[in-house]
């Protein structure tokens, strides 16, 4: 079946088959096959074509479903520890995002610590119609306390969450949504359009020491979409925070006090 969307996007951009072929460094014969629907370009070429035409890649190839074998192609790179991934790698994904930035983690304080220009870049993305959604742990919630205890941090995680909320406020004031959630967080997710960095949480191991995976979406139903579902599920059960909420947010109860209160409760008949 002829790819009428690709044909329409080329016409709108004033590109001929030869022009598109030169732009993405392929042959005119290959472009003709894409237009006829007898061939589908590789993922990297799809991305280049979509960028050249200024449209969403999945709009051009909406039936590009991900099978078992193809799902492996979504794995771009992996690190044994998140700290092994250089900040520049993160920064390129951040600045290249045009539509979606979704952030899910316990504190995510390292993002603002490693990238002092994060607020300005995300503010510009939102000015241009993009969305930024951030979900972090509620510092007064049981889930954050349990994780803090599990890692033996004596309240450090709760303090980092509080600091992160403070530093995220300018991003929220610029239009981002911030939600606090109180549920077990099995993975931290950082989405930048069709690219995603994921850290699975391991028992007693800090996030920076846990593995990090880079996924790139190639179609519906793949690994990327599974983690999108994970993000959306936690977002749906999280509590939205306005800039005023952030200002008036009560400080977390110190973990020792909480543990003592729990102990007293257990001793009651």
The CATH T-level fold of domain 71-262 is Endonuclease; Chain A (3.30.870)
Ramachandran class of 25: left when φ > 0, alpha when ψ lies in -120 to 50, beta otherwise: left
CA separation, residue 142 to residues 3, 38, 103, 122, 258 (Å): 52, 55, 21, 30, 10
Domain spans of the chain, in order of start: 4-64, 71-262
Check residue 89 and give its pLDDT. 97
pTM: 0.71
Burial class (CB in 10 A: 0-12, 13-18, 19+), 212: buried
**Nearest Cα to 115, choosing from 84, 132, 90, 136?**
90
Ramachandran class of 230: left when φ > 0, alpha when ψ lies in -120 to 50, beta otherwise: alpha
The β-bridge partners of 55 are: none
Check residue 69 and give its pLDDT. 53
The superfamily in CATH containing domain 4-64 is: lambda repressor-like DNA-binding domains (1.10.260.40)
Check residue 205 and give its pLDDT. 94
pLDDT in tens, the chain (269 residues): 789 899 999 999 999 999 999 999 999 999 999 999 888 888 778 888 989 999 888 788 876 555 555 677 899 999 999 999 999 999 999 999 999 999 999 999 999 999 999 999 999 999 999 999 999 999 999 999 999 999 999 999 999 999 999 999 999 999 999 999 999 889 999 999 999 999 999 999 999 999 999 999 887 778 998 999 999 999 999 999 988 877 666 444 444 444 444 444 334 33
């Amino acid at each position: 079946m002829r790819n009428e969307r690709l044909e329409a996007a080329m016409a709108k951009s004033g590109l001929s088959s030869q022009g598109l072929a030169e732009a993405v460094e392929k042959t005119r014969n290959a472009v003709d096959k894409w237009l006829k629907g007898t061939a589908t370009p590789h993922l990297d070429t799809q991305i280049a074509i979509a960028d050249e035409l200024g449209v969403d890649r999945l709009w051009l190839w909406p039936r590009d479903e991900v099978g078992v074998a193809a799902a492996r192609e979504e794995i771009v790179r992996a690190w044994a520890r998140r700290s092994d991934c250089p900040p520049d790698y993160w920064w390129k994904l951040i600045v290249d995002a045009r539509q979606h930035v979704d952030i899910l983690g316990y504190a995510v304080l390292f993002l603002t610590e490693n990238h002092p220009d994060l607020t300005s870049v995300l503010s510009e993305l939102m000015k241009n119609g993009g969305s930024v959604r951030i979900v972090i742990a509620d510092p007064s919630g049981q889930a954050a306390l349990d994780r803090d205890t599990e890692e033996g941090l004596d309240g450090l995680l709760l303090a980092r969450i509080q600091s992160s909320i403070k530093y995220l406020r300018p991003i929220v004031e610029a239009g981002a949504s911030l939600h606090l959630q109180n549920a077990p967080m099995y993975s931290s997710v950082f989405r930048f359009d069709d690219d995603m960095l994921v850290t699975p949480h391991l028992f007693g191991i800090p996030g920076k020491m846990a593995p990090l995976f880079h996924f790139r979406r190639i179609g519906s139903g793949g690994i990327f979409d599974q983690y999108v579902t994970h993000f959306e599920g936690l977002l749906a059960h999280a509590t939205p925070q306005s800039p005023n909420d952030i200002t008036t947010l009560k400080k977390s109860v110190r973990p020792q006090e909480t543990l003592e209160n729990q102990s007293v409760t257990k001793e009651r008949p």
